[in-house]
Amino acid sequence: MDTYALKAVSDLPAPFHSAFSFRYFNSLQSECFPTCYLSDVNMVISAPTGSGKTVLFELCIMRLLSKFISGDGKFTHLKGTLKTIYIAPSKALVQEKLRNWTQKLGPLGINCLELTGDNEYYSIKSIQDTDIILTTPEKFDAVTRYRIKDGGLSFFSDIALVLIDEVHLLNDPRGAALEAIVSRIKILSCNPELQSSPLSLVRFLAVSATIPNVNDLAEWLLAPAQGVKRFGEEMRPVKLTTKVFGYTPAKNDFLFEKRLQNYIFNLLMQFSGGKSALIFCSTRKGAQEAAQVLSQTAMTLVHSNPFIKSREQQERLRDASLLCSDKQMQSYILYGVAYHNGGLSLKDRNLIEGLFLNGDIQILCTTNTLAHGINLPAHTVVIKSTQHFNKEKGIYMEYERSMILQVHLYENLLNGCEMVESQLLPCVTEHLTAEIVQSTISDITRAIEWMKCSYLYVRMKKNPENYSIQKGLPGNLIEKHLQEICVQKVKELSEYQMVWTDEDGFLLKPLEPGRLMTKYYLKFDTMKHIIQAHPDCSIEDILHIICRAEEIAWIQLRRNEKKFLNDINNDKDGRLRFHILDDKGKRKKRIQTREDKIFVLVNDCLTGDPLVRDLSMSQDVNSICSNGSRIAKCMKEYFMYKKSYKGALNSTAIAKCLHQKLWNDSPYLLKQLPGIGMVTAKALHSMGVTSFETLFEADPRKIELVTGRKYPFGNHIKESLLTLPPKIEMAVQEVEGQRTGMSKLLITLTRLSQPAQSTKRHYADMMVGIEEDNLILFYEKISPYSATVLFSSPQQGKLTIKADLIFEEFIGIDLHRKVIITPPVDLNVTQRYRPTELSSFKLKDVHIIKDDKDETSVTTSKKSHYSNELIENSVSMPSFKLIDEELEDDKPVIETEDDDCKIITERTVFDHIRKKAKTLPSLPMSNDTCLPSLEAFTIIRKRTRERHLELDNEIEVLEVQESRAVQNPKHTEPESNIHIIDEDDPTDIFDGSYYLMRDTEIWGGEGTLANEHQNTRSGTPAAETILGHTRKMPRNYPVFSNSHTADSTVLTLECGTSHMQGNDTQPAVSSSDNDVIKLSSPSLQKGQCCSLAIAGEVKKDDSFLGFQSVFSFL
């Protein structure tokens, strides 16, 4: 193309001119301009690196945005209505494009969103409102899998443009995820129900520097002939000169790799000419060691350092080294050298890339992360060895030809570049299950259509031998083979109860194990291990399952690691909790398998002070813990589905331990807090500070003295306690005797006040189960305020009921209570009242209704001295609003009708009560109640608002009678033989309670903590809220409540006490401060009366209405 045919930026509409910093497009961009900007056809482009392919992406984006330009040339953008999906193989490439496009398109009002492992702060709403989503294939697949119930696929209909960078990734094992999501978009675009949406006309643009079989990719993406562009080396803006040097081999690949580092400095002096250079290494450790060797060589040259040009550069490097969090990197930066790999933090990666682009760092040692198209231009590129380390096989292998071309080594291989093949077949089971779970596939016919939309089908027809198909088969037989694959995979899924099929095997519906495998992105073989696990799975059993997981099967046992691992497993100091044992139950003297290595490494890591210091093994440990935590979470949900109490409890525990890399009884629990590492944790341990409570009581100056840090380090360490979840007290009490062979327990959680507040959200699991039967009675993702659990009474022997409040993130703060139920002395239960077996009821049969049930008397854990000091200068009033429950879609809700309300005064309330008291109905006798069914259970929840309370026009009081108030009872005797045991873990602190956030921080939606001040709108309170909890409640004020279930009545009496602080009177609604008695009979003494508290508008921010909520399982 001659220069006169170059397209100008002015050819675009005026609103888009500012997006480009140049006046004319280059020859490659100009040739593609008519197809990119003036048409909507799909395109596949192969061009050399540095030829300007990114601009082609931008031209396609401009084409899409041009639909928002009106006839008079004004750009009127509608947010989120036309979405662009940019898919790149690495996080670094995604972040580079994010910075670039935010700067270019931000002034037009275009929103860009990063979806990678470095960005977890997003919501479905932010995805729906964004215009350009920049992501990696695995993350995009995981997001759309995990968020199915939240509308993870809801934005698919708005997708109008898909941009695929470095599409040769298809030839990598990671390419299966890219192939799966593109096939998903393709099959959804053909859905008749979406024909009026932008998705029906979705456009694809795929580019790469090295695509030998462009036509195959064009066939897959439905690109016409005019959309296929292939450019050669003539389009490279700078001529490439290549030199190849050979060196004497060593005994093995590892030694040879290490020896090559000695030659790098001389090569740079010979060819770089004092300009920037990139050095590609086969491993992360190799890149780090290369940077170390180069910086040490530069150090010996003192003032003759060839990588430092001026004193100003030296000053900038010194300032930059202080900003780097990597200690080793700090010393390298001072000499103009650095390394770059995927293991660096996002902050450090951005810092290093910026220094290299500015020319302050001249030598950058890196892995093949930069070979995936990151724009870090360099004068010289050194490929240290033509081999890279394959972690799945544990050996060094030759670079793929496409990768070598990407880093410009053997350009003479261009014509003989290997074909891009599909990698979908080895993991087609997992992706097929994901499509069934997302309802993309509902029968075998749709499954076959989905596979025909894949790149696998294209390559099967072109190269059938690569996929175990006889060469020369006609197309119809290849399609039949594809059908056989689908039927076989569906049959395997059905055998393990992951999908349901009809008798003919045609219809497909997902089952819970299949949903869990999809949600947690697990391999099929790993999920099979979970399904085959014993219901009584112990923590050690769970660790063995994790060690066999396919997600970490790439970890290899290296020869030089065996002695070190043997010494750890020998464990002379008794550090490890579990060991590798031989057939005789003794510790193995030799570690022989990959599973043994993983088991030893994870046990060493969980001690909190691991002996592993080697970089490669440290990377193995990080992968084991991250993948193991995900697998354990999946196991927890699977055991919940199976109602296995022990398995769910142990899985929850190991998931947290792997996340924190600590056992729950580790002496270094403080490492969980920000700003406390191993050195600081050991120093605090030496002064006796090993728990959150002792840290709260510690003197900040003494902390600074012991740790050797300066003021105000001690204050910052104590402030880190604010990141912990709120402090909770848990009590368990039998609220009814074992009448008719049934027992009922009340589990009460009380949130205590705290003078400070945090904005972080915390998640927890509330679980109640029977140890002997290994049966879950109750489970809630976020714990309710109180739960009433109904279960069969033991006929003989004892029954152990455990209640567990388990926080998702932190260890050492969980609450555990155990109640032992023994048979009653005189239990006469007739056959007609015999309850249904507990195993017959299902957790899904949940009905959420509003009711007027108050909690009865409970036994609370003792308050610690820590909590008293914590609330010394604050309102001594706990918040009962642990959560703002958000009801799930699959749970039926019985709505209550909102009547017209008005705020009433004290006088109005009492006048109304006096009029109503004459016609009050009598309470039913307890012996007239019927035994409720166990086939379904009811959850009863209460809601309240703090301010602007309004009251119903009419108040119905069932019975107003006087009762005796018990003065501050310490313990309430249960009706039957019951023994309450405090079973907190020895490391659990505060006597069954833990650190909390400010009282104004309350539980928010989806079981999270939200700021209480956000919830100030008016609302209609329930009768219990009005009559039972007021801002100013007199001392020992009795409140009656009559709680109704389907066929039973529980009557409770609560007497609140007040705590005086200054001129403010606050009701103490903590179960340990209330005067509470349980009525043995609904018939009260005649002539007794009960006053009612007044509900009014709350005028102060530090006072609010508490509430009680009872969860009944009937």
Please report, for the domain that includes residue 450, its CATH number. 1.10.10.10
Q: Quick one: 540 and 572 in the same domain? A: yes
More confidently predicted of 1 and 954: 1
* Token reading at 582: 């031989």
Is the pLDDT score of 29 beyond 70?
yes
Provide the pLDDT for residue 39.
Answer: 94
Provide the pLDDT for residue 815.
Answer: 83
Is the pLDDT score of 975 beyond 70?
no
Is the pLDDT score of 828 beyond 60?
no
For residues 1055 and 855, the answer to whether their CB atoms sit within 8 Å is no
- Compute the Cα dihedral for 486, 489, 494, 498 and give only its sign: negative
Q: Torsion angle, CA of 925/927/932/937, rounded to 10 degrees? A: 50
* Token reading at 497: 């109860």
Asked which of 723, 742, 762 is the last residue of a domain, the reply is 723
More confidently predicted of 199 and 764: 199
Mean pLDDT is lowest, of 480-489, 739-748, 977-986, for 977-986
Mean pLDDT is lowest, of 272-276, 526-530, 599-603, 756-760, for 756-760
CATH of the domain at 213: 3.40.50.300
Asked which of 205, 235, 265 is the last residue of a domain, the reply is 235
Provide the pLDDT for residue 151.
Answer: 55
Q: At what angle do helices 284-300 and 261-271 cross, to 10 degrees?
A: 60
pLDDT confidence band for 596 (50 / 70 / 90): very high
Provide the pLDDT for residue 389.
Answer: 56
* Residue written as token pair 């006469």: 828
Q: What is the mean pLDDT of residues 579-603?
A: 91
Cα three-residue angle 679-601-426, rounded to 5 degrees = 130
Q: Is residue 419 part of a domain?
A: no
Cα–Cα nearest to 767, from 752, 751, 789: 789
More confidently predicted of 1087 and 87: 87
- Name the average pLDDT for the chain: 73
Please state, as a whole number, how many other Cβ atoms lie within 10 Å of the Cβ of residue 243: 10
Q: What is the mean pLDDT of residues 953-967?
A: 36
Is the pLDDT score of 168 beyond 90?
no
Q: Quick one: 261 and 326 in the same domain? A: yes
Q: What is the mean pLDDT of residues 480-502?
A: 93
Q: Model confidence over 532-542: pLDDT tens digits?
A: 999 999 999 99
Q: What is the mean pLDDT of residues 260-274?
A: 84
Q: What's the residue count for the chain?
A: 1114
pLDDT confidence band for 740 (50 / 70 / 90): low
Q: At what angle do helices 524-531 and 428-437 cross, to 10 degrees?
A: 70
Separation between Cα atoms, residue 819 and residue 392, nearest integer Å? 49
Q: Model confidence over 46-98: pLDDT tens digits?
A: 988 778 888 999 999 999 999 999 888 888 888 889 999 999 988 888 988 99
Mean pLDDT is lowest, of 22-31, 671-680, 785-794, for 785-794
pLDDT confidence band for 493 (50 / 70 / 90): very high
pLDDT confidence band for 395 (50 / 70 / 90): low
Is the pLDDT score of 1091 beyond 50?
no
Q: Is residue 417 part of a domain?
A: no
Separation between Cα atoms, residue 235 and residue 227, nearest integer Å? 18
Q: What is the mean pLDDT of residues 141-169?
A: 81
Q: Which residues have CB under 8 Å from 287's CB, separation 6+?
A: 279, 281, 339, 340, 341, 365, 366, 367
Q: Is residue 242 part of a domain?
A: no
Provide the pLDDT for residue 374.
Answer: 60
Asked which of 708, 723, 738 is the last residue of a domain, the reply is 723
Is the pLDDT score of 1061 beyond 60?
no
CATH of the domain at 557: 1.10.3380.10
Buried b (16+ CB within 10 A) or exposed e, 521-530: bbbbebbbbb
Q: Quick one: 813 and 943 in the same domain? A: yes
Is the pLDDT score of 861 beyond 70?
no
How many structural domains are present in the chain? 5
Separation between Cα atoms, residue 31 and residue 232, nearest integer Å? 14
pLDDT confidence band for 386 (50 / 70 / 90): low
Provide the pLDDT for residue 391.
Answer: 55
Q: Quick one: 691 and 564 in the same domain? A: yes
Q: What is the mean pLDDT of residues 1021-1045?
A: 37
Mean pLDDT is lowest, of 125-134, 533-542, 855-864, 967-976, for 855-864
Q: What is the mean pLDDT of residues 428-435?
A: 94
Q: Is residue 248 part of a domain?
A: no
More confidently predicted of 795 and 1038: 795
The DSSP letter of residue 771 is T
Q: Quick one: 775 and 875 in the same domain? A: yes
Q: Quick one: 114 and 168 in the same domain? A: yes
Q: Quick one: 442 and 470 in the same domain? A: yes
Q: Quick one: 869 and 991 in the same domain? A: yes
Q: Is residue 420 part of a domain?
A: no
More confidently predicted of 914 and 769: 769
Q: Quick one: 144 and 262 in the same domain? A: no
Is the pLDDT score of 1088 beyond 90?
no
Determine the straight-line distance between the first and last CA of the chain, rounded to whole angstroms: 80
Mean pLDDT is lowest, of 189-198, 831-840, 1088-1097, for 1088-1097
Mean pLDDT is lowest, of 169-173, 562-566, 812-816, 1107-1111, for 1107-1111
pLDDT confidence band for 558 (50 / 70 / 90): confident
Q: Residue 504 is part of which domain span?
A: 425-519
pTM above 0.75, yes or no: no
Q: What values do phi and psi take at 17, rounded to 5?
A: -60, -40
Separation between Cα atoms, residue 290 and residue 187, nearest integer Å? 47
Q: Is residue 416 part of a domain?
A: no
Provide the pLDDT for residue 309.
Answer: 85
pLDDT confidence band for 101 (50 / 70 / 90): very high
Is the pLDDT score of 883 beyond 60?
no
Q: Is residue 241 part of a domain?
A: no
Q: Is residue 246 part of a domain?
A: no
Q: Quick one: 709 and 745 in the same domain? A: no
* Token reading at 337: 């050298």
Provide the pLDDT for residue 171.
Answer: 86
Please give, one letter per residue, the 3-state secondary structure of 59-116: HHHHHHHHHHECCCCCECCCCCCCEEEEECCCHHHHHHHHHHHHHHHHHHCCCEEEEC
Is the pLDDT score of 369 beyond 90?
no
Query: pLDDT above 70 covers what percent of the chain?
Result: 66
Mean pLDDT is lowest, of 319-328, 638-647, 1024-1033, for 1024-1033
Is the pLDDT score of 735 beyond 70?
yes
Q: Quick one: 692 and 745 in the same domain? A: no
Q: Quick one: 782 and 877 in the same domain? A: yes
